[in-house]
């Protein structure tokens, strides 16, 4: 299983595999064509509700299952505009996908 987090501002990498944006809003200053985002599951992105509650919805469970299937097929990179991906919603999803 190969899943990791990266900043979307760093641009695509040949080892990214499936590129999944995990921010609710499209990152400022990033051109959609150049970002090479394969998926943008807004049902897994944070809102004003507590994140732990959001991830318990049927929609979130279905989206997580889809990401788990993608991870089994090959590399997946969770993209975020956060300056610190290790302390973002991308890390929360990374932990969920690894367990």
Tens digits of pLDDT across the chain (99 residues): 699 999 999 989 999 999 999 998 899 999 999 999 999 998 887 765 545 555 677 888 898 899 999 999 999 999 999 988 888 888 888 888 887
- Structural tokens at position 50: 């507590």
Look-up of token digits 């990152």: 27
**Cα 11 to the center of its chain, rounded Å:** 15
DSSP code, position 39: B
31: helix, strand or coil:
coil
């Amino acid at each position: 299983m190969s899943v990791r987090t990266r900043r979307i501002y760093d641009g695509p990498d040949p080892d990214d595999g499936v590129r999944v944006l995990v921010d609710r809003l499209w990152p400022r200053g990033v051109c959609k064509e150049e970002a090479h985002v394969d998926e943008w599951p807004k049902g897994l992105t944070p809102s004003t509700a507590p994140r732990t509650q959001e991830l318990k919805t049927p929609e979130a469970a279905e989206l997580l299952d889809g990401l788990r299937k993608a991870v089994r097929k090959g590399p997946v990179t969770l993209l975020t505009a956060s300056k610190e991906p290790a302390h973002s919603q991308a890390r929360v999803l990374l932990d969920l996908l690894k367990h």
